[in-house]
Amino acid sequence: MRLLIVGTLKGQLTVATKIAMDKGASVTHAESSDQAMAVLRSGRGADLMMVDVALDIRELVLRLEAEHIHVPIVACGTTNDARAAVAAIHAGAKEYIPLPPDPEMIAAVLAAVADDSRELVYRDQATANVVKLAQQIAPSDASVLITGESGTGKEVLARYVHGRSNRSRGPFISVNCAAIPDQLLESELFGHEKGAFTGAVARRVGKFEEANGGTLLLDEISEMEVRLQAKLLRALQERVIDRVGGTRPVPVDIRILATSNRNLAEAVREGTFREDLLFRLNVVNLKIPPLRERPGDILELAHHFVRKYAQANGVPVRPLSADAKHQLTVNRWPGNVRELENTMHRAVLLAIGDEIGADAILTPDGERLDQTRPAAVEHATLAAEAVTRALVGRTVADVERDLILETLKHCLGNRTHAANILGISIRTLRNKLNEYSAEGVPVPAPHGGTSPHGDVRMAG
């Protein structure tokens, strides 16, 4: 966590500095906005700025925007002047902190910005396999490509890898390649010299240099234009970068992590992604399964988010009712963990009574999940109809086996969904599948396809 403190406030910011450092933050001090801009351009960077409310915060915000520097600002003042706080917020500050500072408030602000709560929460064996591989490769300097659908937790896993690497004491810098226009992304990554283009009012160090000694995450790298991919490839191969408008290469010492929710091999075939760059990035691939393929994680994550948002909103932590749990486990979660998190945040706010019931497990439109996700039930119905058309002359065991296997197939191998639809326990389903496997009957694997082997017991 890199904190940039701007101003003096009669020595009160010195106290804030000590508190922040005690909480593990790396602190840089600048007496003026000009000095603050120089720090940010130099590559020392910041994750948060605490700014004296007596300074012109609006001007500072505009200067940051003009140079495409994105750092949240917290205003600080020596009084509880409500008008000063409102003016600071209107000027672009995210929060106002009265001084002398309260240690708990400083800690809360730092935690909110650093998002230290982004821990790995899992119980399913499918996730455990990914985490085990992440732990194994974390100490190396190998480039890692993290793939998975949107909302599966790719950046969380990237931070996990960095935190267990030999570079964990260095910076972790993330760049969203999809959120920055192509014409600005090159400057954002590699920096620029003064006068390199209109608006380049001073030399600016890019994210590569800012991440020196640490880790650079290129989020959604598939959205990077091909021309810029060539420059990135050179940086990966030679460990040097060229600032826009620069005349000499700049050496960098970084580890590259990249994420994508697209199939990059397919992008290579389409000509939108360089094959040689894919080889460089994909030394190790960490593929995060979608939430529907790791059902053991659903309730574990749901409980985690209930605790998180109950604490954040000052309400008691309430348990999930049986109906609520059922709703959560049968939903297919197309938005993955991100959708589940938002759903549980709403549930914490909407729940009435001593527990969180199914009536609080709602979509953003206020509909119950089981009224908006009928696909799996429809598939099971069709499967049952197909089986019943050929009942005559067959044993009950044969009909049961076909119904179970067809339902499982239409649930894409998801044991929890299939058990819920069939109205049997997950233990009963696993026992049946092990019997079928022992008889040589192909059984749908947990992630699609078929497996001749016995069913693997998943945690949860």
Say if 370 falls within a structural domain: no
| Same domain assignment for residues 109 and 51 | yes
CATH number, domain containing residue 135: 3.40.50.300
Minimum mean pLDDT among 10-24, 222-236, 418-432, 445-459: which range?
445-459
| Same domain assignment for residues 332 and 389 | no
Residue 396 has pLDDT above 70, yes or no: yes
Residue 455 has pLDDT above 70, yes or no: no
Q: How large is the average pLDDT for residues 415-434?
A: 85
Q: How large is the average pLDDT for residues 133-140?
A: 95
- Of the pLDDT bands very low, low, confident and very high (cuts 50, 70, 90), residue 371 is low
| Same domain assignment for residues 273 and 336 | no
Q: What pLDDT is stored for residue 447 in this prediction? A: 58
Residues 6+ apart with CB under 8 A from 268: 274, 275, 278
Q: What pLDDT is stored for residue 391 in this prediction? A: 58
- Of the pLDDT bands very low, low, confident and very high (cuts 50, 70, 90), residue 8 is confident
| Same domain assignment for residues 351 and 395 | no
Average pLDDT of the chain to the nearest whole number:
83
Q: How large is the average pLDDT for residues 325-350?
A: 93
Q: What sign does the dihedral 108-301-372-444 (CA atoms) show? A: positive
Q: What pLDDT is stored for residue 329 in this prediction? A: 92
Q: How large is the average pLDDT for residues 236-252?
A: 88
Provide the CB-side half-sphere exposure for 85 (13 A, CA). Answer: 10
Say if 119 falls within a structural domain: no
- Would you say 453 and 437 are in contact if contact means Cβ atoms under 8 Å apart? yes
Q: Which amino acid is at 319?
A: P
Say if 89 falls within a structural domain: yes
Say if 223 falls within a structural domain: yes
Give the domain range for residue 296.
292-364
* Total count of domains within the chain: 4
Residue 377 has pLDDT above 80, yes or no: no
Report phi then psi at 115, rounded to 5: 50, 50
Q: How large is the average pLDDT for residues 336-360?
A: 93
Q: What pLDDT is stored for residue 454 in this prediction? A: 47
Cβ count near 63 (within 10 Å) = 17
Q: How large is the average pLDDT for residues 21-26?
A: 76
Domain boundary among 114, 137, 162: 114
Structure-token match 């205003």, residue found: 75
Say if 120 falls within a structural domain: no
* Secondary structure class of 443 (helix, strand, coil): strand
Q: How large is the average pLDDT for residues 406-410?
A: 82
- Would you say 164 and 119 are in contact if contact means Cβ atoms under 8 Å apart? no
Residue 26 has pLDDT above 90, yes or no: no
336-342 own/partner pairs: CB under 8 Å, 24+ apart: 336/148, 336/149, 336/150, 336/151, 336/152, 336/153, 336/290, 336/291, 337/151, 337/152, 337/153, 337/291, 337/301, 338/150, 338/151, 339/151, 340/291, 340/298, 340/301, 340/302, 340/305, 341/301, 341/305
Say if 396 falls within a structural domain: yes
Domain boundary among 88, 114, 140: 114
| Same domain assignment for residues 149 and 269 | yes
| Same domain assignment for residues 393 and 429 | yes
Say if 460 falls within a structural domain: no
Beta-bridge mates of residue 77: 98
| Same domain assignment for residues 143 and 283 | yes
Minimum mean pLDDT among 37-51, 205-219, 297-311: which range?
37-51
Minimum mean pLDDT among 13-22, 154-163, 214-223: which range?
13-22
Q: How far apart are CA 119 and CA 324, in angstroms?
A: 24
| Same domain assignment for residues 49 and 170 | no
Q: How far apart are CA 329 and CA 416, in angstroms?
A: 7
Q: How far apart are CA 291 and CA 82, in angstroms?
A: 45
| Same domain assignment for residues 158 and 250 | yes
Minimum mean pLDDT among 3-17, 171-185, 232-246, 281-295: which range?
3-17
Domain boundary among 305, 334, 364: 364
- Of the pLDDT bands very low, low, confident and very high (cuts 50, 70, 90), residue 101 is low
Q: How far apart are CA 236 and CA 187, in angstroms?
A: 17
| Same domain assignment for residues 86 and 47 | yes
Q: How large is the average pLDDT for residues 283-298?
A: 95
- Would you say 45 and 69 are in contact if contact means Cβ atoms under 8 Å apart? no
Q: What pLDDT is stored for residue 117 in this prediction? A: 44
| Same domain assignment for residues 325 and 265 | no
Q: How large is the average pLDDT for residues 198-206?
A: 77
| Same domain assignment for residues 42 and 173 | no
* Secondary structure class of 56 (helix, strand, coil): coil
Q: What pLDDT is stored for residue 80 in this prediction? A: 67
CATH number, domain containing residue 55: 3.40.50.2300
Q: Where are the alpha helices (DSSP H) in 23-171?
A: 33-42, 57-66, 82-91, 103-114, 125-137, 154-163
Say if 422 falls within a structural domain: yes
Q: How far apart are CA 146 and CA 153, in angstroms?
A: 10
User: What are the tokens at 231?
Assistant: 């420059």
User: What are the tokens at 336?
Assistant: 């993955």
Q: CA nearest 210: which of 238, 180, 187, 228?
A: 187
